Amino acid sequence: MQKGIALLLTLLILGAVMATALGVSVLVSGGIQTTRLVDDSTAAVFSADAGIEKLFYFTNRLNGNPVGANFTRTLSNGARYTVCSAAQNCTADQLKSQGQYLNVQRTFEANY
């Protein structure tokens, strides 16, 4: 009788330890995925920022008229930005830069 109770108690304790380990691994896995998404989002934001800064440069260089400044550039880390001004997706007084890194997209818009 004592050996049966000891075996049952051992199995219960082992099950609780395994459930705890599984729970911790799920939390850690979720944290890693969230961190990866934040890193990708940061790269997309900085590429969009690079594009809007390039448009600001063109706007200043062309005396406030960046018509035709529509292009896509790929950065060294694989991120890219697409910018437009007074084009298909932009109005005459709007600058737009969309940064993309992997599956994440971020956009900056500026009106002038």
The pLDDT tens digits for 17-32 are 999 999 999 999 999 9
Instruction: Quote the mean pLDDT of the chain.
Output: 86
Element (DSSP H or E) covering residue 54: helix 2-61
pLDDT at 88: 57
Dmax (CA) of the chain: 93
Arithmetic mean of pLDDT, 36-56: 91
**Alpha-carbon span 103 to 100, nearest angstrom:** 7
- The one-character DSSP state at 87 is S
Closest CA to 68 of 79, 80, 55: 55
Q: Which residues, 6+ apart, have CB-to-CB distance to 77 below 8 Å?
A: 43, 101
- Judged against a pLDDT cut of 80, whether residue 110 lies above it is answered with yes
pLDDT at 58: 79
Give the phi and the psi of residue 30 in degrees, each rounded to 5: -65, -40
Structural contact between residues 82 and 51, judged by C-beta atoms closer than 8 angstroms:
yes
pLDDT at 50: 92
Structural domain span for residue 95: 2-111
- Judged against a pLDDT cut of 80, whether residue 38 lies above it is answered with yes
Q: Which segment of 41-45, 89-93, 98-102 scores lowest on mean pLDDT? A: 89-93
Arithmetic mean of pLDDT, 45-67: 82
Number of domains in the chain: 1
Select the more confidently predicted residue: 59 or 29: 29
